[in-house]
Structure formats: C-alpha cells, structure tokens
Amino acid sequence: MADAQKPDGPDTKEKAKRKPFHEEFAEKIIARLKEGTAPWQQPWHPGSGNFAPHNPASGTVYKGVNRLSLSMSGHDDPRWMTLKQANDKGMSIMPGSKSTPVIYYQFSEEKTGWGKTASLFLEITASP
C-alpha cells in the first residue's frame, strides 16, 4: 500500500521553532559588537528619565540579562507586558507585534540543617 502524502498547505506545515533564548541573545550581542556598539554601555544621560525596561501591569523592573535583552530590542517604549495583561488594562498591542522572550528565575528555598541523609552519612563514615 502506498504511503499517503499530505498536501503542502499552510495548515500542514510545521510551525518554525524559535531558537533557545541564549542563542538569540548571543547573536544579538555579537551583531551589536560587530557594529561597534557595546550594548551594556549606558546610552542615556543621567537625570533624563527612567528608561529601564519594566512591566507596568506587575510593577516588575527587569534586571540582569532580561534588562539587556529587552533594551536591545530596538523599541523606544520601555514598557513590556503580556497580551493578556494589556487586554486586562484596556490597552492594545500594535498589529504585527511579535513576542519577546523573558527569562524567569525561581530560586528554591534554602534548607538549613543536615537532615536524615547527612545523619546517615555521618553514622556510616564514623563507624569503625
């Protein structure tokens, strides 16, 4: 029996996958350096306003790699939010806008004390 072939219409094409964040970020940095621009240098003058990327819906001011990545996006507006956040606030997103990834860090709670595993380890290593 012959294999059935799917038509090559837009509905059957696999959606192009986005590169991992670290690859996209590295490519942006390298491109800027080749242009002669160090993207981490302060491009504004002190006292001229707060142009740090931030989320007005959540109050988050981005820092670290997110701040640098969003600053290099080429947008003049430092406000960033999800489509849902914009809709909830009665705002609209410009037609044709594309999403921009942001890295979310979640640190686990530090546990104090040795616990059962360390006690067992100490008993095994202390045995003659």
Tell me: pLDDT of 14 over 50.
no
For residue range 95-120, what is the model confidence (pLDDT) as tens digits? 888 888 888 877 777 666 655 555 55
* CA angle, residues 51, 56, 60, in degrees to nearest 5: 80
pTM: 0.59
112 in any annotated domain: no
**b/e sequence 50-78, b meaning 16+ C-beta within 10 Å:** eeebbbebeeeebeeebbbbbbbeeeeeb
For residue range 67-95, what is the model confidence (pLDDT) as tens digits? 988 988 888 889 999 999 999 999 888 88
pLDDT class of 61 with cuts at 50, 70, 90: very high
Residue 19 is predicted with a pLDDT of 86
60 in any annotated domain: yes
31 in any annotated domain: no
pLDDT class of 2 with cuts at 50, 70, 90: very low
pLDDT class of 127 with cuts at 50, 70, 90: very low
The domain total for the chain is 1
Structural domain including 89 reads 49-94
109 in any annotated domain: no
Partners of residue 79 on adjacent β-strands? 54
